[in-house]
Amino acid sequence: MTSVKNYLSLIKFSHTIFAMPFAIIGFFLGLYTVPDASDSRAGEGLGLKYGFSGSVFSMGLKLLLVILCMVFARSAAMAFNRYLDRHFDAKNPRTAIREIPRGILSASHVLRFAVVCCLLFMACCYFINRICFFLSPVALFVVLFYSYTKRFTPLCHFVLGLGLSLAPIGAYLAVSGHFALLPILFSLTVIFWVSGFDIIYALQDEDFDKSEELYSMPSWLGKSRALRVSELLHLLSFVCVAVVGVLWHFGPWYWIGVAVFTGMLFYQHSIVNPNDLSRVNIAFMTANGVASVVFALFVIADLVFH
């Protein structure tokens, strides 16, 4: 039991709350915006046919597989990141308490854990559909490649955003089997949102990153300019959800979700400034956790009831 807790701590399982709600959004977009060949009713609101393709049981099973894909892909990415950065983590006072530097978990065990999670992710994709399985190596490459980026580019935050942005597209593909603009716009929302709050989180390591010649927006631009970049990215995230709401004629539930999501973005910027980083963790975990969960609930409510 202790070993399980150590691995959950290693991968920061609680941070799954960021991307998982957007995966659920992608799944419900597939259910409610993809024409069902067995149902010719024209849906209102989104201006598209919608319905449940297949039985409730099969959709429930597919949703479970999507959730497992999210868990395994993210676990693989986090474990690999901890393995690759173990020497930097040991030098940084903020990260020296992590499992590998403290000797709680060995580096070799963590690497094996990452490999197993990759295999389980691909297995789940195999049971979803062909396109998800064929694209699974691409998804793994993106989420694993992020761990290298801080060594050569301050755009590393965007690669992290790209990795998490695969959640709504992948979940939509699980249901529909094809690409569409709507989930891609939600993925752009995730890219801008995640990149923005990862820059805020990186403010804590500006001095350490400079000393180790690691790249990040704060170490490249300084705290104040990095925060301006974060604000711009969060503005673009709001623009994406607003464009979706207008072009696809979402209803009042959706806009309530947009209001909460935007409010949480504004809140995290109001409590963090270059001279006071004491509330970075509140901005990172609490504000963004509330933003993603509440937004997803209202988007799904609008799809179901509008």
Q: Measured between alpha carbons, how far is 185 from 182 in angstroms, rounded to an integer?
A: 5
Would you give the distance in Å from CA 226 to the centre of its chain?
Answer: 21
Question: What local confidence, expressed as pLDDT, does residue 11 receive?
Answer: 85
Task: Identify the CATH class of 2-305.
Answer: mainly alpha
pLDDT average per 10 residues of sequence, the chain (306 residues): 83 84 96 62 36 68 96 96 97 95 96 98 96 97 97 97 97 95 98 97 96 97 97 98 97 98 96 90 87 97 92
pLDDT given for residue 36 in this prediction: 60
The whole-number pLDDT of residue 110 equals: 97
Helix (H) or strand (E) segment spanning residue 10: helix 2-10
pTM exceeding the 0.85 threshold for the entire prediction: yes
How many C-beta neighbours within 10 Å does residue 261 have? 25
Give the span between the Cα atoms of 199 and 235, in whole angstroms.
14
Torsion on CA atoms 256, 251, 34, 297, rounded to nearest 10: 20
How many other CB atoms are found less than 10 A from the CB of residue 47? 11
Whole-number Å distance between alpha carbons of 265 and 33: 28
